[in-house]
Amino acid sequence: MALPRSFKKALWVFHVATGSCNGCDIEIIAALTPRYDAERFGIMLTGTPRHADVLLVTGPVTKPMLPRLKRIYDQTPDPKAVIVVGGCGCTGGVFYESYNVVGPVDEVIPVDIYVPGCPCRPEAIIDGVVKAVTKLETLEKAGVSG
Amino acid sequence: MNNQSIKLEVGGSTACYTVPVGPVHPALKEPIRFHFDLDGEQIVGVDIKPGFAHRGIEYMGMRRNLIQTLYLSERICGICSISHPLAFTQAVENAAGIAVPPRAQYIRTIIGELERIHSHILWAGVGAHELGFDTLLHLTWNVREKCMDLLEELTGNRVDYAIPIFGGVRRDIPAEKAPLAVEALGYYKGLLDQLVDTFLHDKSIEMRTRGIGALTYDQAVELCAVGPVTRAAGVPKDVRQDMPYLAYADMDIKAITPRDLGVEPTGDVYDNIIVRLLEVAQSIEIIEFCLENLPEGEITSIPKVPALLAALKNAEGEGIGRHEAPRGEVIHYVRLVEGQDEMAAWKVKAPTYSNLMSWVPKFLGDEVADIPIIAASIDPCMCCMDRVHIADETGTTSEKTKAELVRLSREKTRRICG
């Protein structure tokens, strides 16, 4: 999948923390603020999943957050892409043996892009979002609509 | 949690309806749930339901060896990622009787204070965002990157620095790196006046924060608030001043209250901004002192990891470690049993746990549009705090979304600015 010459629309991202340690969460904000400035591509955090194209999930999914995460996934309109940011969301990471963690994010909702790292750098997060662009364009070509 | 015992009387009215907020919530990105009882726009009752970020870290820590647990303690919180290891290493060193060379103590202090600088600037940006002042969010986060660069240069990582180890630190600050630190500190010194001017003399910020989320001296003492929250209410409480440890013992640290700026403390959001900005200046002074007086010598008393593990396995005893994290006092308690790789007990008390109940008097009497900034004013850190799991699986309907709250907050700024 190659990156298109221009983005068809500005990507709006909803960030949901499912028990993450804040490490990736602050790097996501860092990615959006002037040093890394993902907003220049029209990538913006939105306040509600109903406006989002991309779901950015951090954290290993704790038991109380499980129904919330499923609900937020259902609230996000199609076509959508799900990005997991951080090692604990990708595999369980350091929290793998916890009694209150239901496992990596992909055991709960379908995941398209994994951004590993504990925590991952802002560059890696931007790379993940760019990959989500190609994924969404592929979905659009396949005729998946909201 | 029950707020009955400290519920304030507001105009003698009763609540008309309840608004649940969260757990995907209005301030920062971490999950917590609030129930607000409202009389019109006014908040007359608050209930707080934490527990969504509980990962059972203490349980996991008691199943791994101490060096593995050290890296786990770093992941209690990504913003306090040196505070927890500092308290944890002190607790274990205390229990096992391991000495820390002076140079290592100074390096720990330097990294700890750098974390305070980046955390307070981060908070200032989040606070500005909650008020609808996004330009200031971008300005402050841009300024923060200088500190992140320095941390990366000194430790190898932007977040989770992995610097302390039992008996010392893992990485030295070589002489050639010191000028980088001096340059970064000079950058912040030159910028501080501008930041203070922008935050404290801006009319719209003053109108949105003065008298909002107030906490009296007595309430702060009664609720055992810690860190900038209690200092903003005028309580001169600071672990670095009260029980000096690491390099702080060589310095004369004074707890910062709004009185240092000639303001009578009321504990409101404005006073919280004053305290955090002044603490950035204090941290710069501390790091400068540490760099100038950095002792020569070893950086760790037990350099070989297998020897360290053996020493820890043979240790027996209890220990407590305290550290003044950017958000307040963090305490770690450990108990070691001889012949056992893992700890027999581990208890973490994070600053937000102490500050949580100060939310109740802060919220009462204020408006719905003030919820985001008051929630943010204690600089909450759920992932630090959620040590106890309180499950709540009921009533997820008719919640106020973050977007709605931010919109209300922005409308209020516009309204009062005319």
Judge whether B322 lies within some domain: yes
Question: Do B179 and B236 fall into the same domain?
Answer: yes
Task: Chain B: give the shortest CA distance to residue A141, in Å.
Answer: 31
Instruction: Return contacts of B156-162, CB within 8 angstroms, 24+ apart.
Output: B158/A27, B158/A30, B158/A119, B158/A121, B159/A23, B159/A26, B159/A27, B159/A119, B159/B78, B159/B79, B159/B81, B160/A23, B160/A118, B160/A119, B160/B74, B160/B75, B160/B78, B160/B81, B161/B74, B161/B81, B161/B82, B161/B111, B162/B71, B162/B74
The stretch A13-26 carries a mean pLDDT of 89
DSSP label at residue B300: B
Tally the residues of chain A. Answer: 146
Tally the residues of chain B. Answer: 418
| A62 to B30: CB separation less than 8 angstroms, yes or no | no
Judge whether A132 lies within some domain: yes
Token digits of residue A5: 């010459």
User: Quick check: A18 pLDDT over 50?
Assistant: yes
**Partners of residue A34 in chain B, C-beta under 8 Å:** 138, 141-142
Question: Do B131 and B150 fall into the same domain?
Answer: yes
Q: Name the one residue in this structure whose structure tokens are 């992932």.
A: B383
Q: Which of B159, B122, B52 is nearest to B386 (CA)?
A: B52
Using 50, 70 and 90 to split pLDDT, how confident is the model at B77? confident
3-class DSSP assignment, residue A55: strand
Q: Kindly state whether A19 is in contact with chain B, defined as any CB-CB distance less than 8 angstroms.
A: yes
The stretch B84-112 carries a mean pLDDT of 93
Question: Do B168 and B79 fall into the same domain?
Answer: yes
Q: Kindly state whether A38 is in contact with chain B, defined as any CB-CB distance less than 8 angstroms.
A: no
B237, B179 contact by CB (below 8 A) = no
Judge whether B76 lies within some domain: yes
Question: Do B48 and B92 fall into the same domain?
Answer: no
> Which structural domain range is residue A24 located in?
12-140
Judge whether B358 lies within some domain: no
B308-358 pLDDT, tens digit per residue, is 999 999 999 999 999 999 999 999 999 999 998 889 999 999 888 888 888
| A26 to B53: CB separation less than 8 angstroms, yes or no | no
CA–CA distances in Å: residue B274 to residues B130, B210, B216, B229: 17, 11, 16, 11
**Partners of residue B125 in chain A, C-beta under 8 Å:** 33
Question: Do B177 and B80 fall into the same domain?
Answer: yes
Q: What is the pLDDT of residue B169?
A: 93
User: Quick check: B388 pLDDT over 60?
Assistant: no
| A94 to B71: CB separation less than 8 angstroms, yes or no | yes
Q: B235 or B32: which carries more pLDDT confidence?
A: B235
Question: Do B263 and B155 fall into the same domain?
Answer: yes
Q: What is the pLDDT of residue B110?
A: 93
Question: Do B96 and B180 fall into the same domain?
Answer: yes
Using 50, 70 and 90 to split pLDDT, how confident is the model at B394? very low
> Which structural domain range is residue B389 located in?
4-53+363-417
What domain count does chain B have?
Answer: 2
Q: What is the pLDDT of residue B418?
A: 67
Among candidate residues B352, B371, B401, the one where a domain is terminated: B352
Q: Kindly state whether A29 is in contact with chain B, defined as any CB-CB distance less than 8 angstroms.
A: yes
Query: Chain B residue with minimal CA distance to A71?
Result: B396
Q: Kindly state whether A86 is in contact with chain B, defined as any CB-CB distance less than 8 angstroms.
A: no
Q: What is the pLDDT of residue B396?
A: 37
Judge whether A131 lies within some domain: yes
Using 50, 70 and 90 to split pLDDT, how confident is the model at A145? low
Q: Which of B282, B287, B280 is nearest to B194 (CA)?
A: B280
CA distance B217 to A133: 52
Q: What is the pLDDT of residue A43?
A: 85
Q: What is the pLDDT of residue A38?
A: 86
**Partners of residue B383 in chain A, C-beta under 8 Å:** 19-22
Question: Do B15 and B89 fall into the same domain?
Answer: no
CA distance A42 to A61: 28
Across chain B, mean pLDDT equals 85
3-class DSSP assignment, residue A15: strand
Q: Kindly state whether A62 is in contact with chain B, defined as any CB-CB distance less than 8 angstroms.
A: yes
B60, A24 contact by CB (below 8 A) = no
Among candidate residues B330, B352, B374, the one where a domain is terminated: B352
The closest CB to that of A19, out of B53, B159, B401, belongs to B53
Q: What is the pLDDT of residue B393?
A: 42
Query: Chain A residue with minimal CA distance to B403?
Result: A47
Question: Do B305 and B164 fall into the same domain?
Answer: yes
pLDDT above 90 coverage of chain A, percent: 33
Cis, bond preceding B351 (omega within 30 deg of 0):
no
3-class DSSP assignment, residue B245: coil
| B31 to A46: CB separation less than 8 angstroms, yes or no | no
| B31 to A68: CB separation less than 8 angstroms, yes or no | yes
| A23 to B137: CB separation less than 8 angstroms, yes or no | no
Using 50, 70 and 90 to split pLDDT, how confident is the model at A143? confident
Task: For helices A122-141 and A23-32, give the axis angle rounded to 10 degrees.
Answer: 70
Domain with residue A32: its CATH number is: 3.40.50.12280
* pTM of the entire predicted model: 0.87
Judge whether B174 lies within some domain: yes
Q: How is chain A split among helix, strand and coil, in percent rounded to 5?
A: 40, 15, 40
CA distance B414 to B7: 31
The closest CB to that of B79, out of A22, A88, A97, belongs to A22
Using 50, 70 and 90 to split pLDDT, how confident is the model at B375? confident
Quote ipTM for the complex.
0.88
Question: Do B107 and B230 fall into the same domain?
Answer: yes
| B141 to A33: CB separation less than 8 angstroms, yes or no | yes
Domain with residue B229: its CATH number is: 1.10.645.10
| A23 to B79: CB separation less than 8 angstroms, yes or no | yes
**Partners of residue A47 in chain B, C-beta under 8 Å:** 401-404, 406
The lowest-confidence range among A66-70, B7-11, B227-231, B311-315 is B7-11
CA distance B209 to B195: 16
Q: Which of B251, B327, B329 is nearest to B287 (CA)?
A: B251
**Partners of residue B63 in chain A, C-beta under 8 Å:** 97
Question: Do B71 and B19 fall into the same domain?
Answer: no
Task: Chain B: give the shortest CA distance to residue A142, in Å.
Answer: 32
Q: What is the pLDDT of residue B11?
A: 52
Q: Kindly state whether A33 is in contact with chain B, defined as any CB-CB distance less than 8 angstroms.
A: yes
B42-68 pLDDT, tens digit per residue, is 888 888 888 888 888 888 888 898 999
Q: What is the pLDDT of residue A5?
A: 62
Cis, bond preceding B20 (omega within 30 deg of 0):
no
A61, A82 contact by CB (below 8 A) = no
User: Quick check: B165 pLDDT over 90?
Assistant: yes
Judge whether A7 lies within some domain: no
User: Quick check: B115 pLDDT over 90?
Assistant: yes
